[in-house]
Amino acid sequence: MTQTLAPHDVALDAVPEPTRLLTGQPAGMPGVQSEADAPPDPRELRDDQVDGQELTARLARTWGTRKGIIGALSTVDHKIIGRRYIITAFIFLFLGGLSAVAMRMQLARPESGLIGPDLYNQLFTMHGTTMMFLFGVPIGEAFAVFLLPLMLGTRNIAFARLNAYSYYVYLFGGAMIWFAFMLNIGPDVGWFAYVPLSGPEFSPGKRVDFWAQMITFTEVAGIAVAVQIVVTVFKMRAPGMTLDRIPLFVWAELVNAFIIIFALPAVVTASVMLIMDRLVGTHFFNPAEGGDALLYQHLFWFFGHPEVYIIFIPATGWVSAIVVTFSRRQAFGYIPLVLSMIATGFLSFGLWVHHMFTTGLPQLGASFFTASSMLIAIPNGIQIFCWIATLWDGRPVFRTPLLFVMGFFFIFVAGGLSGIMLASVPIDAQVHDTMFVVAHFHYVLIGGNVFPLLGAVYYWFPKFTGRMMSERLGKWHFWLAFIGFNITFFPMHITGLMGMPRRVYTYLPEMGWGNLNLISTLGATMLFASFVVFLVNVVVSARRGALAGPNPWDAGTLEWATSSPPLPQNFDRIPVVTNREPLWAHRNTLPVVAGLSVENREVIISTATAGRADLKESSPEPSIWPFLAAIATTVTFIGSIFTPWAIVWGGLPTTITLLGWFWPKGVKEDEA
Amino acid sequence: MNRVTLFLLSLPLAGCQGWQSTLDAHGPAARTLADMFWIFTAVLATVWVLTMGALLLALRKRRVAGADPLATNPATERRMTIVISTAIGLTFVTVLALTGISYGGQRALYSHKDGALTLLVTGRQWWWQITYEDPQTNRIFTTANEIHIPVGEPVLIKLESADVIHSFWIPNLTGKMDAITGRQNQVQIQADRPGVYRGQCAEFCGLQHAHMGMLVIAEPKEDFERWRNNQISAAKPPADPERQRGMEIFLSKPCVMCHQIRGTDAGGKIAPDLTHVGSRRYIAAGTLETTRGNIAAWIVDPHGIKPGVTMPTIQLEPDEVQPLASYLEGLK
Amino acid sequence: MRNLLTASIAVLILTACEREDREYRANPVTAETEEKIALSPLSGGPSPPVERRSGIGQGYEENAFHVAQGKKLYVWFNCNGCHANGGGGSGPPLMDDRWTYGGQIENIVQTIREGRPNGMPSFRGKIPDDQIWQIAAYVRSMGRNVRKDVAPGRNDDMHPAPAEQRRPPGEVIDGGQISPSAQMPQ
C-alpha cells in the first residue's frame, strides 16, 4: 500500500498532493475488495477536493464541539474527554494523597490522639480505594483516551459516545464515594473490604454499601473504556500501521485493556455478592449457611493482583515512549518488549494467591503460586534490560521526563525485587500485612506508576496544552518527590520487619517504632510538597509556558505530527505509516491518504493485523444522551444502596436515555 | 554530624532487636525465616546494584552526536542481544534458586512436629481467647491474651475466629496464620530460650485492630507446670477486707454479665476470663500493664483507652474503684 | 424549588450523620433517665396523662451502630433464652405488634431495667444504661419499628427468619394480653 506514496509536508498549512488510496484503485491485498476501494459519492465534498486553510477549517467545523454547557456535556471529542479524565484522576490522586498525609500525621508519634480509630479506618479505606479504583485504573485509560487516536492516526476513539458515558459514570461514582466520606458514610473496612468484617453483621449502616456501589460505577466505566481501546487499536489504525508498527505505548494500553476486561468482572462479582449479602440477605459469605468467607478473598484477588498490572502496564508504555524519544534511538528489542507485556498480562492472572498465603491454603498449591509469582520477574526483567540497552546505544537527552524515568528505574526495580520476597510463602508469613508490604507496594506503585506518569505529564503536556512545562520547577519537583518518597517509604521496610502491622491507627510507645514513623511522616510532607510544586508548574505553565509547536521533543510517533493542542479533527489528512517511528522515518514530509468526507465524521477502519484501509465508517456525532444515561445510571446505582427496587424503577429512565442515545437518525452515510 | 551518622547506622540494626521483631529470632521457625530473609536480601540487593550499575554505565557512555535515531549497528545489536539473553538466563537461574530456597523454608515452617501441648486460640474483636486443651477435662482452662509455653517444646496452636478474620502472629517465634470465620487453621510455635515475646493481630479486624496484642511467655518446664496448675485452680477468696469489698462490688455490678471468675458466681463467657487476671502482665489485650492504677483507669473509662471496645463504661461510686481494682489485681 | 432542594439535601445529610455515627463512648454522666410513658390515652381527671420523655431514645433508634450493638448484646446477654429470635418462647414474642407493657423505646428500656411480672428479670445495675438503650433499639427493629436503612442485616449464623431490615414495617399496639404461649406455667 505504500508503493504509491508521495512525500508531503507535515505542516498543516502546507498544500499536500494527497495519495489517493481511497479512490477506486485497489490498494490492499490483491483480490480483496473493500469498501475503501469503492468510488466516492460525487455529491459529498472529500478531502482531496479542498486543501490548506479551507480543509483545516471545514474539518474543524465537522469535528468540533458546540459552545455552551449543552455542547460541553454533549461532546464526544476524545481529546476533551481524555483531558477531563486525566484532570479528574489527578484530583482523586490529590485527595488520596491528602488522606495519606493525614494518616502519616496520626502515625508520627505513638498513641497520638490526633485522629481516632473510626476516622483513621475511613481514611485508609478512602486512600486505598481512591488510589486503586479512582486513580490507578482510570489514569492509564485516561491517557489512552487522549493519546491513542493521535498515535494511531485516526480522528476519534471507537464508540465515542460510550467514551463520554464512561467518563460521567466514573466521575459520578468517584464523587459519590467522596461525598459519602464527607457525610460520615465513608467505608471503614479497607479497600479490600474482607468479609465478614464488611458483611452485614459487623458493618452496620450504609458505609460498605456505598463502597460496593462505587466499585460498580468504576467497573462500568473501566470496562467500557477498555472495550473502546481494544476496538480502536485493532480497527482504527492509520493505513500501513501493521501490528509491528504500533507504538509501544499503544501495545501497553492494549494489553492493559485486555487485563481490565478479564479482571474487573471478578471484583464486580465479589462486590455484588457482598451487597446482596448485606441488602437482601443472601448467604454467599456466611459459613453457617454454607457460604465461605475465603471465596470473597479469591474473587477479590483474582481481580486484585491483575489490578497491580493494570496500574503498572500503562506505565511501561509511558516509559517506553519517553526512553525512545529521549534516547534518540528506536527501541531496542521491540518484539521482546511487546511479548513481555503480553506475557505479563497472562501471568498476572496466575498470581492472586500470594495475597492469601497466610489463610492456611494447601501448601502445595501455595508453592505453585510462589513459582508463578517469581516467574513474572522474567518478563519484567526483559523490559528493564531492553530499556537500559536502548539508553546504552542511544544518545540520551536529559530533560525532566527522562529524569522521572530514572526515578522509576531506581524505585521500581527495588520494589519489584522486594516483591520476590513476598512471593516466597515462608518469608511472606512474616512480612504479610506489615509495614514492609506497605513499603513494597508503594515502591512498586509509586515507582512503577506515579513516577512514569509524572514523566508522561511533562512529556505530553505540550501536546495537551500547546505549552511547555518549566524545566526548572520540573527538576525541583523530581528531586523533592524522589528524596521525599525514599524518606517516606524506605523506613517502612524496617518498621515492618520490627513487627509493625498495617492498618493500625496507633501503636504503643514501648514498641520502638516511633522514630522511624516520624521519619516517614517527614518524608511524606516532602513528597506532598513536591506535588504542590507540580501543581504550581502545571497551572503556571498552562498559562504562561513557552509555546511548544507540533513536535518540541523531536519525537517519532504520530501524535507529534499534528498541532499542539490538536485541532478537533486531529489530522487534516490521515497519515500513512511506513515505519514504527513515522516522524523519524519521514523527517520533513509525511505521506498521507485522502478521500475521506470533509462534511461528515468519517474515519478509516483498517484490517486488524495488516492495517490495510478497509472501510469508511462514520464516527458518532455529539449527543447529550450519554450524559443523561450516566445520570440515570447513577440514580439507579445510588438508589439500589437503599432498596433493591431501585434496579426496577431505575431501569425505566435508563432505558429511556439509552433509547434516545441509539435512536436511528438516518445517518447520511446510510443514504448513499 | 557523628551523632546523625550513628543514628542512621542504628536504623537498619534496630530491626534486629525488640520484642516483636521478625529478625530477632527466638525459635527454630523464626530463625529459618530470618536466615531466608537475609539470603533473599543479599541476592536481591546484588541484583539491584548490578541493574543500577548497568543503567549508570548506559547513561555515562560517550557517544557520537547527531546520528539517525533509526540507524542501528548490527554488531551492537548482536552484542546487546547476547548480553540481555545472558542477563535473562541469569535472572531465570536466580529465580529458580530462590524458589527452591523458598520451598525448603516452607517445608521447614509447616512440617508440624508432635508436641505435648495443644492450644485453641480464638480471635475475638479485639482480644485473644486461649484454651489449654488436655485429655483430662478438668485440666482444661481458658485465659486471655497471654500464652505460656515450656521452652524447647513445640506447641500446636489451633486457630479459630468468633467474629471476623484475625491473624495470629508472634514475630519472634514464627510467621503469621489467619484465624478465619468458619474454619480452623493450625500453626506451631517453639521457643529456644526463656523470654517474653509479643504478638499482635495482623489482619485488619475493625476499630481496635491496633490494640489487639498478646504475649507469649516461654519458661522452663517446671515454671510452666507451676503456672498451669495455678491457672487450673479456681480463684482464691480474698483475705483482706478491701479486696473482699472489691469482690462484692464485682459481683453486684455489670462485670458479671460478661466476665468469669472461677470460684465465684461470676460466669459470663463473652469477655476475657478474669480468674487469674492479676497474674497476667498486661490487660486490655496487650495495651496496659497490669497495675492497680491501670485496672482502675480501664474500668472507669475503657473508651478513652481503646475507643470502640466492647467493654462498656461502668458507673461506679468514687469509693468503689479502688477496692475493685485492688481485688482484680490480687487475682494471681 | 431551591429551598426544597436545600431542605432535602439537609435532611439527607442529617439522617446520614444520625445513622452512621459510631458513638461508642457513652455520655460520661450516664445517670438513668426517668422516662414516663402512658400506656393508654385514658387518665383520671380532665387532662391527658402526663408523659416525660428525655428524647435520647431517638438517638439510639436512628443509629445503625447502636442497633447493631444491641443485636450483639441481645445474644450475649441471653435474651434469646426466653424470647428466641423475636418469636417468643417462655417470654413473649418481640417481632409482633402487641406490646403488653408498651412498645415505645422508653417502655422497652423500662421493661429491661425494671423487669416485669411473669418472669422478666430486672437488669438494673447489671446492664449499663447505654447498653439497655441499645438493646431496646434493637428490640424495636425486630418488628421493624425503626427505619429500614437502620435495621440490621443478616447475621453470619443459621437463619430462622429474614433479617430485620427485610421485614415489613411494623405497628405498635400497646396493651393487650400476654399470649398464652408466653404465660409462665402457673
Q: Which of B207, B211, B315, B317 would best serve as a mutation to test chain C binding (most C beta carbons within 10 A)?
A: B315
B232 in reach of chain C (CB within 8 A):
no
- State whether B313 and C129 contact (CB < 8 Å): no
Angle between helices A377-393 and A400-423 (to 10 degrees): 150
Q: What is the pLDDT of residue A584?
A: 92
Sign of CA dihedral B28, B34, B38, B44: positive
Asked if residues A533 and A477 have their Cβ atoms less than 8 Å apart, the reply is: yes
Shared domain for B99 and B18, answered yes or no, is: yes
Q: What is the pLDDT of residue A44?
A: 76
Please give the Cα distance from B208 to B213 (Å, whole number).
10
Asked if residues A509 and B32 have their Cβ atoms less than 8 Å apart, the reply is: no
Strand B185-189 and strand B155-161: the pairing is: antiparallel
B20 in reach of chain A (CB within 8 A):
yes
Mean pLDDT throughout A181-199?
A: 93
Tell me the three cell numbers of residue C89.
Answer: 418462647
Asked if residues B87 and B96 have their Cβ atoms less than 8 Å apart, the reply is: no
Mean pLDDT (chain B, rounded):
90
Burial code (b: 16+ CB inside 10 Å, e: under 16) for A617-628 equals eebbebbbbbbb
Quick check: C171 pLDDT over 90? no
Tell me the three cell numbers of residue C6.
Answer: 436545600
In a domain, B289, yes or no: yes
**In chain A, which segments carry CATH 1.20.210.10?**
75-544
Tell me the three cell numbers of residue A474.
Answer: 520540573
Q: What is the pLDDT of residue C117?
A: 85
State the DSSP H helix or E strand holding residue B146, giving kind and residue range, or none if neither: strand B146-150
User: Which range is least confidently modeled, A85-89, A264-268, A431-435, C173-177?
Assistant: C173-177
Mean pLDDT throughout A145-169?
A: 95
Residue A285's pLDDT band, with cuts at 50, 70 and 90, is very high
Residue A29's pLDDT band, with cuts at 50, 70 and 90, is very low
Mean pLDDT throughout A197-212?
A: 94
In a domain, B287, yes or no: yes
Query: Which distant-in-sequence residues (6+ apart) come within 8 Å of B284 by Cβ?
Result: B127, B211, B298, B302, B305, B306, B309
Q: What is the pLDDT of residue A89?
A: 97
Residue C13's pLDDT band, with cuts at 50, 70 and 90, is low
Please give the Cα distance from A287 to A295 (Å, whole number).
10
Give the bridge partners for A9, in sequence order.
A589
State the DSSP H helix or E strand holding residue B179, giving kind and residue range, or none if neither: strand B177-179
Q: What is the pLDDT of residue A16?
A: 41
Shared domain for B314 and B253, answered yes or no, is: yes
Q: What is the pLDDT of residue A668?
A: 55
State how far the alpha carbon of C90 is from the alpha carbons of B268, B288, C112, in Å: 22, 43, 16
Asked if residues A82 and A145 have their Cβ atoms less than 8 Å apart, the reply is: yes
Angle between helices A160-182 and A625-642 (to 10 degrees): 40
Asked if residues A128 and A67 have their Cβ atoms less than 8 Å apart, the reply is: no
**Distance, in angstroms, between C48 CA and closest chain A CA?**
38
Q: Which of B331, B303, B328, B306 is nearest to B253 (CA)?
A: B328
Residue A18's pLDDT band, with cuts at 50, 70 and 90, is very low
User: Interface partners of A (3+ CB pairs, < 8 Å)?
Assistant: B, C
Shared domain for B103 and B43, answered yes or no, is: yes
Share of chain A above pLDDT 90, in %: 82
Q: How many Cβ atoms sit within 10 Å of the Cβ of residue A133?
A: 26
User: Which range is least confidently modeled, A77-81, A101-105, A588-592, B32-36?
Assistant: A588-592
Please give the Cα distance from B197 to B191 (Å, whole number).
9
Q: What is the pLDDT of residue C97?
A: 86
- State whether A413 and B52 contact (CB < 8 Å): yes
- In the block, residue with C-alpha cell 486531529: A570
A289-295: list long-range contacts, CB under 8 Å, 24+ apart.
A289/C158, A289/C159, A292/B182, A293/A194, A293/A195, A293/A196, A293/B165, A293/B180, A293/B181, A293/B182, A293/B183, A294/A356, A294/A359, A294/B180, A294/B183
A289 in reach of chain C (CB within 8 A):
yes
Chain B residues within an 8 Å CB radius of A503: 204, 209
Quick check: B18 pLDDT over 80? no
H runs (alpha helix) in C62-114 = 64-76, 80-83, 105-114
Mean pLDDT throughout C177-182?
A: 57
Where does residue B31 fall: left (phi above 0), alpha (psi -120 to 50 degrees), or beta otherwise?
alpha
Shared domain for B191 and B293, answered yes or no, is: no
Q: Which of C79, C82, C52, C87 is nearest to C134 (CA)?
A: C79
Residue C1's pLDDT band, with cuts at 50, 70 and 90, is low
Asked if residues B120 and B130 have their Cβ atoms less than 8 Å apart, the reply is: yes
Please give the Cα distance from A183 to C19 (Å, whole number).
10
Please give the Cα distance from A280 to B24 (Å, whole number).
49
**Distance, in angstroms, between B244 CA and closest chain C CA?**
19
Share of chain A above pLDDT 70, in %: 93
Give the bridge partners for C173, in sequence order.
C98
Tell me the three cell numbers of residue C82.
Answer: 426466653
Q: What are phi and psi of B281, to 5 degrees?
A: -80, -30
At A345-373, the pLDDT tens digits run 999 999 999 999 999 998 888 989 999 99
Query: Which distant-in-sequence residues (6+ apart) come within 8 Å of A362 by Cβ?
Result: none
- The shortest CB-CB distance from B58 to any of A292, A375, A392 is to A392
In a domain, B178, yes or no: yes
Quick check: B3 pLDDT over 60? no
Tell me the three cell numbers of residue A39.
Answer: 468510488
Mean pLDDT throughout A111-128?
A: 94
How many domains are there within chain B?
3
Strand B288-289 and strand B282-283: the pairing is: antiparallel
Please give the Cα distance from B99 to A371 (Å, whole number).
6
Tell me the three cell numbers of residue A110.
Answer: 505513638
Asked if residues A494 and B7 have their Cβ atoms less than 8 Å apart, the reply is: no
At A330-344, the pLDDT tens digits run 999 999 999 999 999
Q: What is the pLDDT of residue A7?
A: 36
In a domain, B7, yes or no: no
B57 in reach of chain A (CB within 8 A):
yes
In a domain, B254, yes or no: yes
Sign of CA dihedral A170, A176, A178, A181: negative
What is the value of pTM for the model shown?
0.92
Please give the Cα distance from A589 to B98 (Å, whole number).
53
Tell me the three cell numbers of residue A283.
Answer: 448467604
Tell me the three cell numbers of residue A314.
Answer: 500503562
- In the block, residue with C-alpha cell 476475657: B272
At C14-41, the pLDDT tens digits run 666 678 888 877 665 556 677 777 766 6
Sign of CA dihedral C134, C139, C145, C149: positive
- State whether B167 and A358 contact (CB < 8 Å): yes
Taking only residues 125 to 144 of chain C, the set having a beta carbon closer than 8 angstroms to any beta carbon of chain B reads: 125-131
Query: What range does the domain containing B31 cover?
Result: 14-58+73-110
Angle between helices A377-393 and A363-375 (to 10 degrees): 10
Mean pLDDT (chain C, rounded):
83
In a domain, B218, yes or no: yes
Peptide bond into A196 cis (omega under 30): yes
- In the block, residue with C-alpha cell 482444661: B140
Percentages of chain A per state (helix, strand, coil), in multiples of 5: 65, 5, 30
Quick check: C157 pLDDT over 60? yes
Taking only residues 173 to 202 of chain B, the set having a beta carbon closer than 8 angstroms to any beta carbon of chain C reads: 181-182
Residue A599's pLDDT band, with cuts at 50, 70 and 90, is confident
State the DSSP H helix or E strand holding residue B167, giving kind and residue range, or none if neither: strand B166-168
Q: What is the pLDDT of residue A433?
A: 94
- In the block, residue with C-alpha cell 508436641: B115
* CATH code of the domain in which B204 resides: 2.60.40.420
Q: What is the pLDDT of residue C184?
A: 54
Q: Which has more confidence, A68 or A5?
A: A68
**Distance, in angstroms, between A452 CA and closest chain B CA?**
16
Q: Which has more confidence, B1 or A89?
A: A89
Mean pLDDT (chain A, rounded):
90
Quick check: A77 pLDDT over 70? yes
Quick check: B11 pLDDT over 70? no
At B115-162, the pLDDT tens digits run 779 999 999 999 999 999 999 999 999 999 999 999 999 999 999 999
At A504-533, the pLDDT tens digits run 999 999 899 999 999 999 999 999 999 999
Strand B213-219 and strand B146-150: the pairing is: parallel
> CA dihedral defined by B277, B278, B282, B283, rounded to 10 degrees?
50
Q: What is the pLDDT of residue C177?
A: 61
Q: What is the pLDDT of residue A587?
A: 83
Q: In this predicted complex, what is the ipTM?
A: 0.93
Please give the Cα distance from B311 to B271 (Å, whole number).
8
At B213-269, the pLDDT tens digits run 999 999 999 999 999 999 999 999 999 999 999 999 999 999 999 999 999 999 899
Fold of A75-544: Cytochrome C Oxidase; Chain A (1.20.210)
Shared domain for B138 and B222, answered yes or no, is: yes
Please give the Cα distance from B306 to B315 (Å, whole number).
18
Sign of CA dihedral C94, C100, C103, C109: negative
Mean pLDDT throughout A7-29?
A: 40
Q: What is the pLDDT of residue C39?
A: 67
- In the block, residue with C-alpha cell 483513621: A120
User: Interface partners of C (3+ CB pairs, < 8 Å)?
Assistant: A, B
C85 in reach of chain B (CB within 8 A):
no
Q: What is the pLDDT of residue A24?
A: 37
- Structural domains in chain C, sorted by start: 19-41+51-155 (1.10.760.10)
